[in-house]
Amino acid sequence: MINNQFVEIRHFVTVAQLGSFTLAAQALGMTGSALSKSIVRLETRLGTKLLHRTTRRVSLTNDGDSYLKDCQNAMAILDNAQSRLGSEQQIPSGRVRVDLPVTFGRRYILPTLLSLSQKYPKLELSITFNDRATDLFNDGIDLAVRVGQLGDTVDLVARRLGEQRRVICASPAYFARLGTPKDKADLSQHQCIVGWPLGQQHRWLLKNEDGIIEAYDIPVRHEIADCEAILAATLAGVGLAQVPIWLVEDYLKTGELISVLDELASDDTPIHLIWLKTPYLQPKLRVIIEALAELAKTPKSRFKAE
């Protein structure tokens, strides 16, 4: 009923402004008869006559003139409110909970997020760092970056950002002390470093004879649950580590670290940005998704395999 009243009011305003039922009907995309009936219903509801009708022209009654001004003012307020709300909805604002891999997130994603917070003053961030997968729904996370194969994604949207390649490396001092492994079997004679989760991952991902990546058991001397600490231990010469190339790339170039078994360790692990499925993607989420997608395209991006 209320919706019909608003429609009748708009019909009345259009007739009053154009001074013609014929022109108003054309502008509204309806027949003259239907428009006339709409005005009659409005006048009946209000209990007063709003328009003088003749064969040649339409004019306002005193009540119609007063009512038109009130209607125009009310419609202007509604139009402004709708325009303002629509504009505000397009501006990224509100809090976004983002979950990132610890070292990769701090190094390569956090700067982009902080830049966005400067660009959009109403955007608020809650950022957590985890190297283990968190549950977006139960943990209240809006967006997450995941390195590795995804599990069940029925309730998720996943956008692939790129790939991560891993290498096996150690310091020159380490190789001088224990020698350089030439094949997988040689790893049994080495002191290997593994990361998270402690006590569970005593294997590295290596290619088999058919070029297929599979888990390979290794002797573990050190367990270190932090990428930066693994890097420090490797540089110190205490062990051999399989790490993402973005973590050690600069040290490989300077010779502070040396990679081995490259033909076996070069797996491409996917990197995804994920979020919960929703009928409408809020601007605060969209702007972050688009920014990270653009970051992954840049020439120096660490989202690339090489």
- Domain spans of the chain, in order of start: 2-89, 91-306
The tokens describing 221, both together, are 């001397």
pTM above 0.75, yes or no: no
CATH topology of domain 2-89: Arc Repressor Mutant, subunit A (1.10.10)
Query: Does residue 183 have a pLDDT over 70?
Result: yes
Query: What band does 306 get if pLDDT is binned at 50, 70 and 90?
Result: very low
The tokens describing 78, both together, are 């509604």
* CB count in 10 Å sphere of residue 187: 21
253, with CB counted inside 10 A (0-12, 13-18, 19+), is exposed
Nearest-10 Cα torsion for 30, 35, 38, 42: 130
Preceding omega of 270 cis (within 30 degrees of 0): no
CA angle 67–68–74, rounded 5-degree value: 90
The tokens describing 306, both together, are 């090489």
pLDDT tens digits, one per residue of 199-255: 556 788 888 888 788 888 888 888 888 889 999 999 999 999 999 988 999 999 999
The tokens describing 146, both together, are 């995941």
pLDDT tens digits, one per residue of 91-103: 898 999 999 999 9
* CATH code for the domain defined by 91-306: 3.40.190.290
